[in-house]
Structure formats: structure tokens, C-alpha cells
Structure 1
Amino acid sequence: MPVHPQPAVVVVAQGDMDLDTSAPLAESLLAAAHAHPVVVLDTSSVTFADSAFLNLLLQAHALAELRIAHSRTSCNASWR
């Protein structure tokens, strides 16, 4: 298991995450992924997520180790 000397940075997502609403999160998440080896995305306040959100997760994962925390049961089905 890799050990990261720097702590992870936490990014919080809120509300609906789709093509029309995810731009502010994309800016924050991708900036964090460029700057930190580990990024934790708190999704506890996400009420809806579509394929645009999933694409954003893949982009961030390509840049850094991405961990998703506090996912809501209602959104879990769309991520499988």
C-alpha cells in the first residue's frame, strides 16, 4: 500500500452534478488533482449525478489518487 507523505486534500461537491452544473466542481477538483497526490471528494451533499460527473471523476483519477467519501445511497446506483 503506498504511503503519501502529504495529507490528502478534501474537495466538497454539492447539489446536482450534471453537464450544466458541474463546471465549478470540475475547476476545483482538477486543480486539486494537479496539486496533490491524493484527493478526497466528499459527495455527501450530491443529490444527483449523471455521466458528466462520472467523466469528471475519471479525469481526476487520471491525475491523482481519488477517494470518494460519504456517498449517498441515492447516487450510488448511478455510479455502478
Structure 2
Amino acid sequence: MPNMETENSSVSRAEELKALANEAFRAKKYSQAIDLYSQAIELNSQNAVYYANRAFAHTKLEEYGSAIQDASKAIEIDPRYPKACCTY
């Protein structure tokens, strides 16, 4: 069982990666954003925001299959998260 400190550290790092991904997205560096969101997901796979944001980056690259997969995962994690429903 992971200790709480390690878990909190992973969540904090995931949030840092999300912030970097958001910056990359705003700079229209969509592939870089996808890579950073993917790293955040590796650290915290139960955050719907990471999947929804990555889905939106996939749509910008016209990678619609990947976008649908990520949006679907975001909805699975949090069915009430509105951004996931409107991403694709």
C-alpha cells in the first residue's frame, strides 16, 4: 500500500504537469500538450480533467478516435464533468 506522502507527491506532480500541458496547449503545441497530459494521467489516472483536456488536444490534431476514447474515459470517471461531454 503506497504511503500518503508518496500519493500526495504524485498528485502534486500530476497537477504541475497539467499546468505545463495547459501552457503548451495555449501555445498551440498540441503534441507536447498530449505528452504532458499523458504523464499526468500516469501519476493520477482517476482525474477526469486530464483525460478531457487530452481529448481536446487530440481534436486539435484531428485525432478523433483518440479524442473519443479520452472523452469517454473522462465521462466514465466523472459522469457529471461537463467538459468531457462537449470535447468532441
* Superposition TM-score tier, normalisation by shorter sequence: 0.3 to 0.5
More strand by share: 1
* Bigger Cα Rg: 2
TM-score (norm 1): 0.37
TM-score (norm 2): 0.35
Does 1 or 2 have the higher relative contact order (CA < 8 Å, sep 6+)? 1
